[in-house]
Homo-oligomer: A and B are copies of this chain.
Amino acid sequence: MMPTNMRVLAIDPGYDRLGVAVLDKNLKNGDLLFSTCIITEKADDFSVRMKHIAHKVENLLLTYKPTIVALERLYFNTNQKTALQVAEVRGVMVYLAKTHSCTLVEYTPQEIKVAVTGYGKSDKKQVAFMVKRLITNVKEGALDDEYDAIAIGITALARER
């Protein structure tokens, strides 16, 4: 009997650049269905950028119909203003996940690093290296945010049943 299909929309939230990846548990030759980095116009109002991101993510929810939305847990970084704005975008992602009846899962940065590289203190380069090893069809020249989203998706596939 085939297991129920598990499809993950993984999101690395941000308002400048937001990484997204769609991964499927049952795919052969790499689990990546889609990934990109949604980029917003710096000149636009925050609320316009937010709406742009939400519109793109909602389209992905409608197109790929994921069962799970995976997000990184947010911690404070050195720039508190940035942290609040990222949290605002993250809140909209939580809201969209719920309105599209997805299960919401969240991981700490350390959990993601362990799932992808086996080591909780690995750096961005190691994460990107292992993402390319684990997923055969990552496109060349992807931005960090896209790799991070794929890493979050790999974590979800490894941890959720």
Chain B residues with CB under 8 Å of A104's CB are 47
Chain B: CB-nearest residue to A103: B47
Which stretch (A91-99, A111-119, A123-131, A150-158) binds chain B? A91-99
Q: How far is it, in angstroms, between the C-alpha of A92 and the C-alpha of B96 when the chains are bound?
A: 9
Question: CA A54 – CA B95 in complex, angstroms?
Answer: 8
Which of B47, B50, B87 is close to A88, meaning CB atoms less than 8 Å apart? B87
In the complex, the answer to whether A47 meets B84 with C-beta atoms within 8 Å is no
20 contacts between A and B (CB under 8 A): A47-B97, A47-B98, A47-B104, A50-B95, A50-B98, A76-B80, A83-B84, A83-B87, A84-B84, A85-B87, A87-B87, A87-B88, A88-B88, A88-B90, A89-B91, A90-B91, A91-B91, A91-B92, A92-B92, A95-B95
Once the chains are docked, how many angstroms separate the CA of A92 from the CA of B88? 7
Q: How many chain-A residues does the 8 Å CB contact rule pick out? A: 24
**A interface with B by C-beta (< 8 Å):** 46-48, 50-51, 54, 74, 76, 80, 83-85, 87-92, 94-95, 97-99, 104
Residues of B contacting A84 in the complex (Cβ-Cβ under 8 angstroms)? 74, 76, 83-84, 87
